[in-house]
A and B are shown apart, each in its own frame.
Chain A
Amino acid sequence: MILAEDLTKHFDDFVAVNGISLDVPTGRVMVVLGPNGAGKTTTVRMLTSILTPTRGRALVAGFDVVRQAHEVRRVVGVLTEHHGLYGRMNAHEYLEFYGNLYGLSSREARRRSDALLEQFGLASAGKKRLGEYSKGMRQKLALVRALLHEPPVLLLDEPTSAMDPESARMVRDAIHTLRSSERTILLCTHNLLEAEELADQVAIIRAGRIIRTGTPENLKRELLGAPEFEARLGSSLNGWTPDGLPEGVHLTGQGENWLRFGVEAPDAANPRLLRRLLEERLAVVAFSEVPRSLEQAYLEAVAQENRQEAARV
């Protein structure tokens, strides 16, 4: 649904985006992570046909972003960094205006906006001037605007950055729902917890280039090594030392009543490991994976990139 190949954008001598390739199938969420100025917004602007790529090509919902810009804009809903609300309008007027621009009749725009305002908890503020809206309300309304014409592709830049936890949850739930209704979503965020929750795929972008891409699990494995599993024991180890651990398993830490193992292939190795522990008559009361966050993986990716760059210099 979103396909980009070697997408590149130069502004005079400055290379904002350098050979980005993406492939987001229908009904999937790709999260783009990266520091400020990494090229996320420029990428989104190329995918919405606002900026013309200097090199490369991109298809959105099957339409070429250069040659079929008009069609691309029809099928894309965009939540931009700047919400672009008009302070002297109310939500109904604002959404009717955008509905009309997307070719909806005023009645249809009103019907859809009523439903969306209700869904996002803004129904009671429909007649309030947008200048009086809080940051979070503005962001929700901008999201409503992006969804108004029911686009099959959504490009969302920081959709929950200004929201309180309750609103952010509401928006994340909405994104889950949209994914299950076969919408394709590209989401730029700095919120790694949100990324971990929502992403089917993650692309880490830095200085205009994608430095890592994959599913969150694959990225963690790739960047942080084999997953770790912890065995909690009902009694003390009493000087027990692990010998003869199954192949692909190694001890990474131990305490008074716990053991931690690095496991290369958990599906195959974990049953053997558990059997081994039980053979040793250790009273295993819990066996679980040690949680590792996408944040750790992201920071590791950036650190690796920094090291490589330092080495190049």
Chain B
Amino acid sequence: MFKRLYPALVITRREVRDQLRDWRIIFPVLGLTVFFPFLMNFTAQQMLGFVNRYGATIIGERLVPFLLMIVGFFPISVSLVIALETFVGEKERGSIEPLLNTPLEDWQLYLGKLLAATIPPLLSSFLGMSVYLAGLVIGGVPLPPLQVLFQIFSLTVVQAVMMVAGAVVVSSQATSVRSANLLSSFIIIPVALLIQGESVVMFWGDYTTLWWAVGGLLVLTVLLVRVGTAHFQREELLGREIDVLNVKWMWRVFRREFTGGAAHFGMWLTRSLPRALRDMRVGIWVAAGLAVAGVAIGLSIVPRFFLTLNVADMDQMGGRLQDLLDLWSLAGAAPVMAIFWQNMRVLLLASVVGAFTLGILGVLPLMASTAAVGYLYGLLVSNGFPPLTFVMLILPHAVLEIPAAVLATAAVIHAGARLATPDSSKTVGEVGLAAFANWCKIMVGVVIPLLIIAAGIESWLTPRLALLFFR
């Protein structure tokens, strides 16, 4: 095993040595490792003194681990720069070709560079966190619990590897450091949002959620590494010209995938679309399973977030529904469009989030929606209402809306899976474009029509059926 790893370690050793000779890397890392923790230490002590004066000790307690996370994160942010430099810089300077001529295997080169871009920033991050923690001990500030420390260390490691793995994917789409830097916003922005989310969780004090973050990031990192290794290949590194925007080519790829070779609309509807649905059947099963899981979660949280429903309010339901029907006339398209757009917004959000996370977070809107459905059902039944109440209020349009959401989510999962599946014959951009075209096909061919019909039912039929029941 070591024999196979050795060439990767040779690469790592050279790269690390090279980094240690570059003052542009050394100075910022030193600053972030040695001076920044002192600053954070000082900030923590001042803040603690200030908030304790006003009895807000909880803010101080939450601030200490938060600052530890920040101290750990800043040095690892350098890993992104190093990764772009080591992967694209070599390509740009032409020094990658002699390396590709050696008996190195692609994965050994990838691993060597991944380690080189990850280890030095991580070591400086650990050093910085140690300096910060030592400062806390010296200043007599209580340390966060061991579990939280371990969570923050785990998050730091996973985030560093994730950024580097993401940088490799970005690098495969660039032949110059400049273009790679431009593309790196696809990593920086999600990571910035992630840090904000983690900060909220830390100030909220719900540290168990951090484990979910660690787990989710780990899965995402594994997928990014998979995509990276799939595209970090000799042929792709040297054989493609990818910096020029080629609209014609993009259109060709999109059209080929979208039409699926269909010559006319009828053929597209009867052959290409069913084939696309068949191709993503695993995604459909996964999305359906997650939808069911969402319902189960919704039902399970009813006791925790129980609301007592006022029977008198429910008695007034008939009157309210009548008011609604007075507003929503049978011929009116406005409520249909409003409902349709609301549902579309949620599914678009799912696809945007999914695009950044290889489909992983794209399942959340579906799960949240079905969890809400489960919760509502549980709440009505727990308050003694017959299940038919729920059926009248939700089911008429949900029979179309939920399958539409499942299919849209399945398309996002399928797109993520395609991106994460090694395909050395295509670039990441080409795979992404094809996945996008397939998503468009499912949306245009199935999801949008279903949502429009569901919105029509929801605005025209559901209130009338419910009115019959509540009268």
Binding site for B on A (CB under 8 A): 11-12, 45, 48-52, 70, 73-74, 76, 78, 80-86, 88-89, 93, 97-98, 100-103, 142, 145
In the complex, which residues of chain A have a beta carbon less than 8 angstroms from the beta carbon of B241? 11
Top 7 A-B pairs, shortest CB-CB distance: A82-B94, A84-B95, A84-B98, A78-B101, A101-B102, A73-B103, A88-B21
Looking across the interface, which residue of chain B has its beta carbon closest to that of A76? B101
B98's partner among A78, A88, A89, A100 (CB-CB below 8 A) is A78
Which residues on the A side are within 8 Å of B93 (C-beta)? 82, 84
Of the residues A73, A82, A88, contact of B102 by C-beta under 8 Å? A73
**Contact for B95 among A86, A93, A100, A101, CB less than 8 A:** A86
Which residues from B are CB-within-8-Å of A97?
Answer: 10, 14
Complex alpha-carbon distance, A72 and B238, angstroms: 18
A48 to B239, CA, bound (A): 13
Cβ of B453 to closest chain A Cβ, rounded Å: 42
Say yes or no: B10 contacts A88, CB within 8 Å: no
Given pairs A70-B103, A101-B11, 19 additional interface contacts (CB within 8 A): A49-B234, A50-B97, A50-B100, A51-B235, A51-B238, A52-B235, A70-B105, A76-B101, A78-B101, A80-B101, A81-B94, A82-B97, A83-B98, A84-B93, A86-B95, A89-B18, A97-B14, A102-B103, A103-B103
Q: Is B104 an interface residue (CB 8 A)?
A: yes
Question: Are A101's CB and B238's CB within 8 A?
Answer: no
B7 at the interface (CB under 8 A from A): yes
| A101 and B97 contact, CB distance less than 8 A | no
Rounded to whole angstroms, the CA-CA distance of A97 and B112 in the bound complex is: 13
**A80 with B97, Cβ < 8 A, contacts A45-B238, A52-B235, A101-B103 known:** yes
A86-B240 in contact given A50-B235, A142-B98, A145-B98 (Cβ < 8 Å): no
Count of chain A to chain B residue pairs whose CB atoms are closer than 8 Å in the complex:
79
Q: Which residues of A contact B17 (CB under 8 A)?
A: 89, 93
A-B contact pairs, 13 of them (CB 8 A): A12-B249, A51-B235, A51-B239, A73-B102, A80-B101, A82-B94, A82-B98, A86-B14, A86-B95, A97-B10, A98-B98, A101-B104, A102-B102
Pick the contact of A100 from B10, B94, B234, B235 — CB < 8 Å? B10
Note all chain A residues with C-beta closer than 8 A to B7.
Answer: 100-101
- Most chain A CB within 10 A, of B7, B100, B105, B241, is at B100
Q: Mark B74-108, 1 if CB is under 8 A from A, else 0.
A: 00000000000000000001111111111111000
How many Å lie between the Cα of A12 and that of B241 in the bound state? 11
Nearest Cβ in chain B — how far from A56, in angstroms? 16
Decide yes or no whether B313 CB sits under 8 A from chain A: no
Q: Which residues of B contact A52 (CB under 8 A)?
A: 235
Contact of A84 among B10, B14, B22, B96 (CB under 8 A): B96
State the CA gap A89–B7 with chains docked (Å).
18
- Give the distance in Å from the alpha carbon of A192 to the alpha carbon of B385 in the complex: 95
Q: Is the CB of B101 within 8 A of A50?
A: yes
Report Cα–Cα, A83/B104, bound state, in Å: 18
Interface residues on B, range: 20 to 34
Across-interface contacts of B21 in A (CB, < 8 A): 88
Identify the interface centre among A51, A93, A101, A145: most chain B CB within 10 Å of its CB.
A101
In the assembled complex, how far is the CB of residue B427 from the closest CB belonging to chain A, in whole angstroms?
11
B430 to chain A, nearest CB (A): 10
A97 to B94, CA, bound (A): 17
Q: How far is the CA of A290 from the CA of B194 in the complex (A)?
A: 78
Known: A101-B7, A142-B98, A145-B98. A74 touches B103 (CB 8 A): yes
- A-chain residues with CB within 8 Å of residue B239 when the two chains form the complex: 11, 45, 50-51
- In the complex the two chains form, is A11's CB within 8 Å of B102's CB? no
A50-B234 contact in complex given A70-B103, A98-B102, C-beta closer than 8 Å: yes
Beta-carbon contacts under 8 Å, B409-430 to A: none
Q: How far is the CB of A264 from chain B (nearest CB, A)?
A: 46
Distance between Cα atoms of A129 and B100 in the complex (Å): 23
- B237: shortest Cβ distance to chain A, in Å? 8
Query: Cα distance A260–B94 when bound, in Å?
Result: 52
Chain A residues within 8 Å of B102, by CB:
73, 98, 101-102
B165 to chain A, nearest CB (A): 23
Question: What is the CA–CA distance of A85 and B14 in the complex, to the nearest angstrom?
Answer: 12
Report B-chain residues with C-beta under 8 Å of the C-beta of A45.
238-239
Chain B residue, CB-CB nearest to A14: B241
Of the candidates B6, B94, B241, the one having the most CB atoms from chain A within 10 angstroms of its own CB is B94
Flag if A88 contacts B22 (CB, 8 Å): yes
Distance in angstroms between the alpha carbons of A100 and B3 in the assembled complex = 12
Q: State A194–B100 Cα separation when bound (angstroms).
A: 28
Closest to B7 in A: A101
Q: Which of B6, B235, B239 has the most chain A CB atoms closer than 10 A to its own CB?
A: B239
In the docked arrangement, what's the CA distance between A51 and B96, Å?
14
Q: Shortest distance in angstroms between A140's beta carbon and chain B's nearest beta carbon?
A: 14
Docked complex Cα distance between A48 and B235 (Å)? 11
Residues on A with C-beta less than 8 A from B98 are 78, 80, 82-84, 98, 142, 145
How near does chain B come to A151, taking the closest CB pair, in angstroms? 10
> B18 contacts A88, CB within 8 Å?
yes
Contact A80 B18 (CB under 8 A): no
Alpha-carbon separation in the docked complex, A28 to B241 (Å): 35
Question: How far does the Cβ of A116 sit from chain B's closest Cβ, in whole Å?
Answer: 15
A156 nearest CB across to chain B (Å) = 12
Q: Hey, which chain A residues are within 8 Å of B105, CB to CB?
A: 70
A79–chain B nearest beta-carbon distance, Å: 9
Contacts of A74 in B (CB 8 A): 103
Q: What residues of B have a CB within 8 angstroms of the CB of A12 in the complex?
A: 249
How distant is A71 from chain B, measured CB to nearest CB, in Å?
8
Counting chain A CB atoms within 10 Å of each CB, the highest count among B96, B102, B239 belongs to: B102
Pick the contact of B99 from A49, A51, A70, A84 — CB < 8 Å? A84
Contacts of B94 in A (CB 8 A): 80-84
Query: Is B18 a contact of A86 with CB atoms below 8 Å?
Result: yes
**Given the complex, which residues of B lie within 8 Å of A83, measured CB to CB?**
94, 98
Q: Which chain B residues numbered 235 to 257 have a C-beta less than 8 Å away from chain A? A: 235, 238-241, 249
The smallest C-beta distance from B17 to any residue of chain A, in angstroms, reads 8
In the assembled complex, the Cα of A85 lies from the Cα of B99 at a distance in Å of 10
**In B14-55, which residues have CB < 8 Å from any A CB?**
14, 17-18, 21-22
CB distance from A17 to the nearest CB of B (A): 12
Contact between A101 and B10, CB atoms less than 8 A apart: yes
Write out the residue numbers on chain A whose beta carbons fall within 8 Å of the beta carbon of B249. Answer: 12
Complex Cα–Cα for A78 and B99 (A): 10
Chain A residues, CB < 8 A from B96: 84
Q: Assess whether B104 is in contact with A84, with CB atoms less than 8 Å apart.
A: no
Within the complex, the shortest CB–CB distance from A294 to chain B, in Å, comes to 29
Q: Which residue of A lies closest to B104 (CB)?
A: A101
CA A88 to CA B238, docked complex, whole Å: 24
User: What CA separation (Å) do A85 and B97 show in the bound complex?
Assistant: 11
Residues of A within 8 A of B18 (CB): 86, 88-89
Residues from chain B with a CB closer than 8 A to the CB of A49 are 234
CB-CB nearest in chain A for B234: A50
